[in-house]
Each structure stands twice: as structure tokens, then as C-alpha cells.
Amino acid sequence: MHFEYKTLRVRRKASEQAEEKSAEKTSKMEDEDENSSYKLCSSVDLDKDLVDWRKPLAWQVGNLREKYDAWVHQPVDRPIRLFGNPLMEAATKTSWYWVPVVWLPIVFYLGWHCYTTLAQGNTRLELTSDFSIPIPKHVFPVLFMMGWFLWTFIEYCIHRFVFHMKPPAHNYYLITLHFLLHGQHHKSPYDGSRLVFPPGLASIVVSLFYMSLCKTLPETLGTSVFVGGLCGYVVYDMIHYYLHYGSPKRGSYLYSLKAYHVKHHFEHQRSGFGITTTFWDHPFNTVIPDEKF
């Protein structure tokens, strides 16, 4: 009896040790996976690089001309200084929490305003001069999701056609503009102070989005769609930040998005433009090839 108990205890101890080793191995694999994207960044040779990293880069990159496109898509893991003027430099940096702090109160206020306005039962959609249909409050969630879906398309278009435009090699100003808008992010993808839009710059796009909707639809309906789109933008910026600095669980949706985005940064800069979703990459034929994550 004593021998059986001792044997059982030995087996249990061996089983616990095996589980501990397995857990350590899994943890190590996850840590290596999380840090692998950092390892893809190259180091900077301050004496041989095409730009002088000891000086602000904004006014240097335009001189790279035909070398700019290859240079900007060789990521480094170091912060970038764009301007020598401290105020201009500070204006280009934004902590991630300012995005929800600035925009979510607007989302909540306008969302409540639109819902209560629709609840009054006075909102109608005029199809012709003699015919209109009432819009009840229950339609608000539909309008909200339409706005969110519309934002995913805008997100894709901005990322593909604006942020990833290929500036002419002879045009100093377009190269500089591209670097300020998005090139600096691809050159230094882990510069945490420039992973979300500064509210001032974002307000330009937000205002254009709002005015376009309110000119296309009745004010309450347009604002309802706008609220959904604005919420989608906040989620986009938060997800983008998380894809660079977060550690999503293996097999989760965010894990697949992070793997997809890493591929975009380090291997396929001309495809994989979706951030919060890869949906629009499919109809526009920009899905990253051989997508196996």
C-alpha cells in the first residue's frame, strides 16, 4: 500500500513537471511571437543612412527623390523627430487616450440627440414632393451601423489612395507631404506617439464627413449615420494602436488582424490596407497573398 502511494505521488509530480515545462514552452513561444515584429526592424547607421537622424527629418526626405520609396519602407525601431520647432513637433504627437477623450463625448451626445429626436415622431424622409415616410426611433441602430460600415470604406480608401500614394520622385513637396501623413509611420512603426491621429488633423476629415452626410440626407438622418461613422473612427484608431503594442490571444480576431498588419508593414506595403477589417481588401483585390497566419 505504501509502495502504491509512493508510486502515485511520483507520477503526479512527474505530470506536474511536464505541465510546467509545457506552460513555459507555450509562454516562451508567445513571447517570441509578440516580439518577432520588433526584430524585423533594422538598425540605423547614423553615418551611412541617406538622412541625418541627428536633425529633423521633415525637410530632408524630399531630397531622397527616387530613393525615397525604398528608404521609407525599411522600418527602424527608433523615434523620429520631424521638426526642429518644439511646438510644431509637439503638434504631431498624440497619446492614444486623447482619441476617446475628445471624440466619444461627441458620439454619446449626438447619438442621444438623434435618438430622442427620432422618438418625437416628426422625422420624415421625403421621397417626392407628395410622398414621404416616417422614420421611427427604432431605425437609429440601423443608421448607426450604416455609418460604421461606411467608415470602414473611408478607412480603406484613405489608407490606400492617400497614405499609400506613391509621390513622384521629382516632387520634393509631395514626398514631404507623404512622409508627414504616413511615411514616417512606416519608417518607424513603433513610435508610440504617432500611432493615432492628432484631434486637430482628424477634425478636418470628421467635418468633411459630417457636412457631406448632412447635405445628402435630412439633418437627423445624416447625423445618425455620422455618429456611427465617428464611433467607427474611434475604434479604428484604438485598434490600430493595439495592433502595434497589444498582445492579442492567439487564434482571436485581433490576433489575425495584428498578423495581417505586420505583414502589411514589413512585407506587403502595396496591399493589406484594411485595419479594423480585411473586408474591403477582397473586392478591391488587395488581400495580402498567401495569407496564412
Locate the DSSP E strands across 188-266.
none
Share of the chain above pLDDT 90, in %: 70
* Amino acid 36: pLDDT: 59
* Amino acid 17: pLDDT: 52
pLDDT at 21 over 90: no
Task: At 202, list the grid cell.
Answer: 482628424
pLDDT at 243 over 90: yes
Instruction: Identify whether 87 is part of a domain.
Output: no
What's the start-to-end Cα distance of the chain, in Å? 52
Read off the pLDDT of residues 37-62 as tens digits, 9 standing for 90 and up.
667 777 787 778 899 999 999 999 99
Read off the pLDDT of residues 269-284 as tens digits, 9 standing for 90 and up.
999 999 999 999 999 9
Choose between 150 and 289: higher pLDDT: 150
Count of residues in the chain? 293
Interatomic CA distance for residues 63 and 172, integer angstroms: 6
Share of the chain above pLDDT 70, in %: 85
Task: At 225, list the grid cell.
Answer: 449615420
Q: Are 141 and 267 in contact (CB under 8 A)?
A: no
* Amino acid 8: pLDDT: 44
Q: How many CB atoms lie within 10 A of CB 245?
A: 13
**Domain total of the chain:** 1
Instruction: Identify whether 252 is part of a domain.
Output: yes
Interatomic CA distance for residues 233 and 155, integer angstroms: 8
Integer CA distances (angstroms), 293 to 10, 71, 279, 288, 290, in order: 40, 27, 17, 11, 9
Q: Are 226 and 209 in contact (CB under 8 A)?
A: yes
How sure is the predictor about 12, in pLDDT bands with cuts at 50, 70 and 90? Answer: low
Instruction: Identify whether 204 is part of a domain.
Output: yes
Burial 56-65 (b: 16+ CB within 10 A, else e): bbbeebbebe
Domain, as residue range, for 130: 96-292
Q: Are 151 and 232 in contact (CB under 8 A)?
A: yes
* Amino acid 150: pLDDT: 97
Which residue's entry shows cell 455620422? 226
On whether the pTM is more than 0.75, the answer is: yes
Surface-to-core class of residue 122, CB atoms within 10 Å of its CB (0-12 exposed, 13-18 middle, 19+ buried): exposed
Read off the pLDDT of residues 167-176 as tens digits, 9 standing for 90 and up.
999 999 999 9
Read off the pLDDT of residues 96-141 as tens digits, 9 standing for 90 and up.
999 999 999 999 999 999 999 999 988 877 777 777 788 889 999 9
Task: State mean pLDDT over 74-93.
Answer: 93
Instruction: Identify whether 19 is part of a domain.
Output: no
pLDDT at 94 over 50: yes
* Amino acid 231: pLDDT: 98
Taking each helix axis from N to C end, the angle separating 98-119 and 219-245, rounded to the nearest 10 degrees, works out to: 150
**Which residue, 271, 238, 232, 206, is CA-closest to 152?**
232
pLDDT at 25 over 90: no
Task: Assign 42 to helix, strand or coil.
Answer: strand
Instruction: Identify whether 62 is part of a domain.
Output: no
pLDDT at 5 over 60: no
